[in-house]
Amino acid sequence: MRREYPDRHMPYWLELTHKQFIKACHETEVALMVVGALEAHGDHLPLGSDTILPNYLADIVANRTKALVLPPIPFGESWTFEEFEGTVCVTPAALLNYYSDVMEGVFKHGFRYIVALNGHGGNSSLLQLAARKSTTGGERAVIVVNWWIDLGKEIRQKLLESPEGHAAEDETSEMMCVRPDLVDTSSYKSSEVKTKYAVVSARYRGELFPSAVRGDPTKATREKGSRFMEEAARELLELIAQLEKGELPLTKG
Give the footprint of Zn ion on this chain (CB under 5 A): 49-50
CB of 171 to Zn ion, least distance (A): 5
CB of 180 to Zn ion, least distance (A): 17
CB of 33 to Zn ion, least distance (A): 18
Secondary element (H or E) of residue 144: strand 141-146
Let me know: does 46 contact 86? Beta carbons within 8 Å. no
CB of 50 to Zn ion, least distance (A): 4
Residue number, 50 or 59, with CB nearest to Zn ion: 50
CB of 229 to Zn ion, least distance (A): 14
Residue number, 63 or 146, with CB nearest to Zn ion: 146
Residue-wise DSSP of 197-233: S----GGGHHHHSGGG-BB-GGG--HHHHHHHHHHHH
Residue number, 49 or 100, with CB nearest to Zn ion: 49
Cβ partners under 8 Å of residue 39, min gap 6: 47, 50, 76, 78, 81, 84, 86, 87, 88, 89, 120, 212
Residue number, 29 or 39, with CB nearest to Zn ion: 39
Residue number, 149 or 248, with CB nearest to Zn ion: 149
Residue among 103, 84, 97, 96 nearest 123 (CA): 96
Residue nearest to Zn ion (CB): 50
